[in-house]
Amino acid sequence: MGLTSNTVLALAVAAGVLLFAATVYLWPRLSGRTWRAMLGRIGLLLATQLAIFAAVGLAANQSFSFYGSWADLFGKETSVGKVVDHSLSSKDIKVVDKQKLDVPGGAQPQVGGQILKVSITGEKSKITSPGYVWLPPEYFQPQHKEANFPASVVLTGYPGTAENLIKGLNYPMTAFKQAKAGKMKPMILVMLRPTVAPPRDTECVDIPGGPQTETFFAQDLPQAIQSTFRVGKKPENMGFIGNSTGGYCALKIAAHYPQTFGAAAGLSAYYEAPNDATTGNLFQGDESLRKRADILHSMERKQPSGTSFLVTSSEQGEPNLEDTRKFIKLVKSPDRVSSIILDSGGHNFNTWRREIPPMLVWMSNRIQA
């Protein structure tokens, strides 16, 4: 039973419930002042708290994918990574591993698609970042061997990992199922985290004298995708998706680069770069850079060009509802805006998993091969 197994989680929850019930039932018998009674009480309390702690920890690990196995948890996973030479590599994107989707026949790419673990290097920014690329089954099928595909960049939040987009938010599996059901067109997903200079949170900003993160995501990454995979070079060929910090990046970069991205979806996005211990001094006192990083300010001045935006929030549980409504009002035709406003939902994976399926369908209707 693996660390991320539902069975392990269920056993931990059951143990916590049973130990709590046993504590309540046995407490009167252990109410004496003898050393045995005292040790019994201490033992029951410790065992109950450990079981509850284990259940909470296992649930958190399943949601955020901190550790993938027991060996990983206890620091026993020390095997050195392998470098694999693949024909899909290019000068900008190096493929270092391949993964199959857990579906019947998934070992064959033309049936289950393929997830590539990659290292992406920006020509202008000189930034190198790890990530994953989902190639749908159709990409490998003989009848589509000359066809181009739409592609979307997908960013997680800060300080998340790219693996969260696969294991926690299920992007490849969701895209596979939606396409197989005929709800969306097959789409390439390029999945990264926004943290390209860890541990610093650069907020997808070109920092004076620091990491040129906006250049990486807005210029280097699209160029790398288009030169490596069968993706067109027009804005209607590429989208940008993200949650939390990734959502902020998606909306901001699509607003700044409508010539590159035809659509953007911000799940639980905020609209202004924070200034805290994780970001440091992003703008070095340059007020024009600070305003550029303010999405609402940028949308007020954006020349409409036909970009499509999708924003999400919740009536209860999300802090971005008011700014999301402001953003919607600022979008001017021929730009278009859509929204998903849940009745309730927090800033978490469960909320985003409810929004990702309809968002992918929306994105599929906004970008094309």
- Of the candidates 81, 23, 15, the residue with the CA atom closest to the CA atom of residue 54: 15
Question: Which residues is 264 bridged to in the sheet?
Answer: 240, 309
Q: What is the pLDDT of residue 363?
A: 98
For residue 65, pLDDT beyond 80: no
For residue 305, pLDDT beyond 80: yes
Q: What is the pLDDT of residue 2?
A: 77
For residue 330, pLDDT beyond 80: yes
Q: Which two tokens stand for residue 62?
A: 């399943």
Confidence grade of residue 27 (pLDDT, cut at 50, 70, 90): confident
The mean of the pLDDT values for the chain is 92
For residue 73, pLDDT beyond 80: no
Of 10 and 246, more confident: 246
Confidence grade of residue 83 (pLDDT, cut at 50, 70, 90): low
- Of the candidates 132, 108, 120, 111, the residue with the CA atom closest to the CA atom of residue 176: 111
Residue 254: C-alpha distances to residues 20, 75, 262, 271, 340 (Å): 52, 40, 7, 13, 19
Contacts of 84 (CB under 8 A, 6+ apart): 95, 96, 97, 98
**Count of CB atoms within 10 A of residue 221's CB?**
26
- Of the candidates 217, 195, 206, 200, the residue with the CA atom closest to the CA atom of residue 290: 206
Position 37, amino acid: A
pLDDT per residue as tens digits for the range 262-303:
999 999 999 999 988 999 999 999 999 999 999 999 999 999
Q: What is the pLDDT of residue 300?
A: 95
Query: What is the distance between the alpha carbons of residues 264 and 152, in angstroms, rounded to a whole number?
Result: 9
Q: What is the pLDDT of residue 84?
A: 53
Give φ, ψ of 166 to 5 degrees: -95, -50
pLDDT per residue as tens digits for the range 181-214:
999 999 999 999 999 988 899 999 999 999 999 9
What's CA 53's distance to the chain center, in Å? 27
Of 38 and 254, more confident: 254
pTM for the full predicted model: 0.79
Question: Which residues is 95 bridged to in the sheet?
Answer: 118
Mean pLDDT of 4-33: 87
Query: What is the distance between the alpha carbons of residues 81 and 287, in angstroms, rounded to a whole number?
Result: 44
Question: Which residues is 131 bridged to in the sheet?
Answer: 118
Give φ, ψ of 304 to 5 degrees: -55, 135
For residue 81, pLDDT beyond 70: no
The CA angle 99-118-202, to the nearest 5 degrees, is 130
Query: SS3 sequence, the chain?
Result: CCCCCHHHHHHHHHHHHHHHHHHHHHCHHHCCCCHHHHHHHHHHHHHHHHHHHHHHHHHHHHHHCCCCCHHHHCCCCCCCCCCCCCCCCCCCEEEEEEECCCCCCCCCHHHHCEEEEEEEECCCCCCEEEEEEEECHHHHCHHHCCCCCCEEEEECCCCCCCHHHHHHCCHHHHHHHHHHCCCCCCCEEEEECCCCECCECCCCCECCCCCEHHHHHHHHHHHHHHHHCCCCCCHHHEEEEEECHHHHHHHHHHHHCCCCCCEEEEECCCCECCCCCCCCCCCCCCHHHHHHCEHHHHHHHCCCCCCEEEEEEEEECCCCHHHHHHHHHHCCCCCEEEEEEEEECCCCHHHHHHHHHHHHHHHHHHCCC
For residue 86, pLDDT beyond 60: no
Mean pLDDT of 166-189: 96
Confidence grade of residue 78 (pLDDT, cut at 50, 70, 90): low
For residue 141, pLDDT beyond 90: yes
**45-67 exposure pattern, b = at least 16 Cβ within 10 A, e = fewer:** eebbeebbebbeebeebbeebeb
For residue 88, pLDDT beyond 80: no
Residue with tokens 């490596």: 228
Q: Which of 81-85, 153-157, 235-239, 260-264 shows the lowest mean pLDDT across its residues?
A: 81-85
Q: Which of 76-85, 91-100, 114-123, 177-186 shows the lowest mean pLDDT across its residues?
A: 76-85
First to last CA, the chain: 42
